Amino acid sequence: MKKYNEMVIYHRQQPLFSACFMQKNAMALQVPTIFYIFAKNLQNPMADNSILIRLDGLKLKYEEIGQKLTDPEVIADVKQFVQLTKEYKELEPIVETSDRYRTAVANLAEAKDILANDKDEEMREMARMEISELEPALEKMEEEIKLLLIPKDPQDDKNAILEIRGGTGGDEAAIFAGDLLRMYTKYIESKGWRYEITSFSEGTAGGYKEVVLKVTGQSVYGTLKYESGVHRVQRVPQTETQGRVHTSAASVAVLPEAEEFDVEISMNDIRKDIFCASGPGGQSVNTTYSAIRLTHIPTGIVVQCQDQKSQLKNFDKAFEELRTRIFNLEYSKYLDEIASKRKTMVSTGDRSAKIRTYNYPQGRITDHRINYTIYNLSAFMDGDIQDCIDHLIVAENAERLKESELA
């Protein structure tokens, strides 16, 4: 304890103080005071740091938005308040990381100064240890910040509409579409998200010709968007008597759910049809006119909902889906543009874009976009798909980083 007190007294007499030293040994001086003295005495080691210069502007914007969010006029304007809240949340991780980075840069500069100028060998050894820890940590933080500074897809935080359609392969394709539905619902449950089936058309031998789900939760679209494309299955169909392996396919489309402020729809442009629902649900579903079909006349988009007994509830759900599909007419142009640059994404209009193969005889899954292959088919079909999605996210981040460096 005596040696510790001597070291603290020694450093109180120096023009520079080690913030890292004080953090590790606690007590003694107040940290804000240390940083103030440190900042005044250093010849601004951060002045030529281009990353910090960019972060300064973002932190200022973050603080300005925070002030606006307390303005009664802004709070009264719902549309502006929602937009500013979204921007504030997007900037939050950047500001938090930049604060950690700024502290690390300052600590590294001071540790190097102590190593160069301090005559106390014990303090010099502490400085060496600090430098060996801080330098790799700074490199890691710089990569993290570079990714955070790349503009993200503004739709990533939204809920999603998940559409699965049986493709080539007849009855087997519909059965496979049902298998994909089971896979995704198990994955959705594992994430703590919620889903509801808004419309479906059952296959004659099981499965689904088409099924549409609404998925709600945190960053749903940003996670599920990698699943858009054609999923191909290779296996012996249930209807096959000769034991031959057939190839079938199902297409998956993932759309960001449009919010109320994203698109305006005139009710004069909508034709509403009411019909009896089909499928399970009892007599109250099958004999009452509760199902809703909405047609947007200008675009020709048709949606329907039949999962509720209430006509009004079916209308609300159908209207939400219609709004999403109209919004995605424009959003698909953006996706088509980035799809030409990134192998992790496929064009929304390209239903022939094969992204993944499920080979049952070999127990193999291969994602063709990133040459990802695993032999764990049963777990994968039980919803354990996160590792594949993580690899796709890493690949896309690398592509985005490369794009930003070339820009």
The Cα–Cα gap between 295 and 310 comes to: 19
Average pLDDT, the chain: 78
Cα(138)–Cα(104) distance, rounded to whole angstroms?
7
Contacts of 38 (CB under 8 A, 6+ apart): 16, 17, 19, 106, 110
Summarize the confidence of residues 386-400 as an average pLDDT: 87
- Range picked from 23-27, 177-181, 292-296, 317-321 for highest mean pLDDT: 177-181
User: What is the per-residue pLDDT across 229-239, written as a single tens digit (0 to 9) for each?
Assistant: 999 999 998 77
Whether residue 193 contacts residue 209, with contact meaning beta carbons closer than 8 Å, is answered with no
Looking at the predicted structure, is the pLDDT value of residue 340 above 60?
no
Q: Which of 65, 105, 368 is nearest to 231 (CA)?
A: 368
Highest mean pLDDT among 33-37, 340-344, 370-374: 370-374
384 vs 305, which has greater pLDDT? 384
99/1: higher pLDDT: 99
184, pLDDT greater than 60: yes
Judged by average pLDDT, the poorest of 23-37, 149-163, 270-284 is 23-37
CATH of domain 160-401: 3.30.70.1660
Q: Of 31-35, 73-77, 232-236, 363-367, which range is least confident?
A: 31-35
pLDDT band at 404 (very low <50, low <70, confident <90, very high): low
Domain boundaries along the sequence of the chain: 2-149, 160-401
pLDDT at site 46: 46
Q: Percent helix, strand, coil in the chain (nearest 5)?
A: 50, 20, 30
Q: What are the backbone angles phi and psi of residue 355, rounded to the nearest 5°?
A: -110, -25
Given a cut of 70, is residue 28 above it in pLDDT?
A: no
pLDDT at res. 405: 60
Q: Are 332 and 258 in contact (CB under 8 A)?
A: no
Structure confidence at residue 394 (pLDDT) = 84
Q: When comparing pLDDT for 79 and 3, which is higher?
A: 79
Which of the four pLDDT bands, split at 50, 70 and 90, describes residue 38?
A: very low
Residue 87, classed as helix, strand or coil, is helix
pLDDT score of 20: 37
Q: Is the pLDDT of residue 250 over 50?
A: yes
Place of tokens 């209807």: 239
Q: What is the pLDDT of residues 136-169, one digit of tens each?
A: 988 888 878 877 777 677 788 889 999 999 987 7
